[in-house]
Structure 1
Amino acid sequence: MTSTPPPSQPGPVTEAGPTPGREPPPGQVWRLQDEAEQATGVDACPAGWPRPQHDGLPLPWVTPVLDRVAYWAQIHGGRLLACQHEWLCQVCGLGLPVQALVLANTDGELVTDAGLHRRCALLSLTVCEGLSPSLLVAQVTRADLRHKGHPLAEQPDASWQRWELAPQVHASAPRVGTPAAARLLEPHRHPSPAEPASTPAHLPTPSRSRP
């Protein structure tokens, strides 16, 4: 991200949105965020756990933040690409174990096209009312994912890819809210070095729906 000395902590993300009529277009927000971080050495939404908060809700690593405003409905394109190329978690930005969790719609298409730690999947399902209760949850490796029906390339493209579950994984993936899905989301199930063995007992309850 930047080669400057260790940055100071970013300020709190504000509730106020951008000036009406002056909101940058989606493809520009995250680039402006990167430019600001290069100039100041301050990461507005750093990787790590627990997540920084905005209006009482945890900020995913791939959510753009510009001038202390969170753009919930947008995705940071550069960070999503890093998640795909480097097998990083879309929520905390840290490395994933070989087997990670993904959320997918009923057609097998992944939500946000990146993997999750168990704690991060559980957090997302707990606080984001915008996630459909019909979603599927699956434990996958890269070999279990497809792009346009084909296995993921060893050398990914320079642009992000639309990921879907391989047919056999899609067929067996349980729906969120079922006992089988709950077992996959258990915080003590095979934790990895990148994922602490414990998950906070209390997760914040959203005051209103977010994407």
Structure 2
Amino acid sequence: MIVPCPECKKALRFDEGRFHCTTDWCSALGMEMPVWRAVKDSGLAAPTPAGLPRPEHRGLPVPWVAPRTENQVWWRALDAERLALAQNLWLCQACGQALPEKAWVLASPEGQVLQAALHETCKDMALEYCPHLSSGTTRTTPRLIARSQLITDGRPVAQAAPSEPDFLHQWELERFDETG
């Protein structure tokens, strides 16, 4: 797949999860771009609609926050614009729909939350299909919480500035302990 540079229109190079321009005369030379931004700026983005059932790519459900084109999904990347919306509007990161008062998060042993919240069905789907979550290398525990139980930068999420694509919140569980 060729993703053109938004500045010089030459093909961007993809290395280690990011795109960058290698055209000597381009003003974007060497500047890294996250996948979601490169795909969006190139006009090739084909965002998935919100809702269930999830659209599939090669038999796998495509999360709402996964950047994609018509023919490719970047499974390991996140669409930061959509993730910011999920955090700010209390939307499910897997299906993009509104969450109930209490929703599921995947929390590390230290209480750090992976990205955003999920419906129970979407949590189960993510744990089943996402190799990052199902391999055992990510030590997370599902926790059912209310948004009011989340903090970022030492203050409740509701009192923090909204997440932005370039400055996403790192959520943590308030009053976290291993026993729940």
RMSD in angstroms over aligned alpha carbons? 2.6
- Are the aligned partners of 1:60 and 1:90 in contact in 2 as well (CA < 8 Å)? yes
Match of 1:180 in 2: none
- Are the aligned partners of 1:62 and 1:79 in contact in 2 as well (CA < 8 Å)? yes
Equivalent of 2:179 in 168, 172, 180: 172
The structure showing larger relative contact order (alpha-carbon pairs under 8 Å, at least 6 residues apart) is 1
SS of residue in 1 equivalent to 2:97: coil
Give unpaired runs (5+ residues) of structure 2.
Answer: 4-10, 20-31
Match of 1:47 in 2: 50
Give unpaired runs (5+ residues) of structure 1.
Answer: 1-16, 174-211
Equivalent of 2:141 in 136, 145, 151: 136
Match of 1:13 in 2: none
Displacement over 2 Å in runs of 4+: 17-29, 31-37, 153-159, 170-173
Cα distance in 1 between the residues matched to 2:59 and 2:158: 39
Cα distance in 2 between the residues matched to 1:102 and 1:158: 17
**Match status 1:30 vs 2:36:** yes
State how many pairs are aligned. Answer: 151
Identity of aligned residues (%): 33
SS of residue in 1 equivalent to 2:63: coil
- 1:83 is displaced (CA, Å) by 0.3
**TM-score for the superposition, normalised by structure 1:** 0.63
Trace 1:43-192 onto structure 2 (pairs within 5 A): 43-112=46-115, 114-131=116-133, 132=136, 134-154=139-159, 156-159=161-164, 160-168=168-176, 170-173=177-180
Cα distance in 1 between the residues matched to 2:68 and 2:40: 10
The aligned amino acid for 2:13 is: R
Cα distance in 2 between the residues matched to 1:100 and 1:27: 32
Q: For each residue in 1:43-89, what CA deviation from the matched residue of structure 2 results, as whole angstroms up to 9, or x when unmatched?
A: 43221111111121111111100352111111101000000111100
- 1:158 is displaced (CA, Å) by 4.6
> For the structure 1 residues 82 and 27, does the alpha-carbon distance in structure 2 shift closer, same or farther, using more than 3 Å as the test?
farther
- 1:155 is displaced (CA, Å) by 5.7
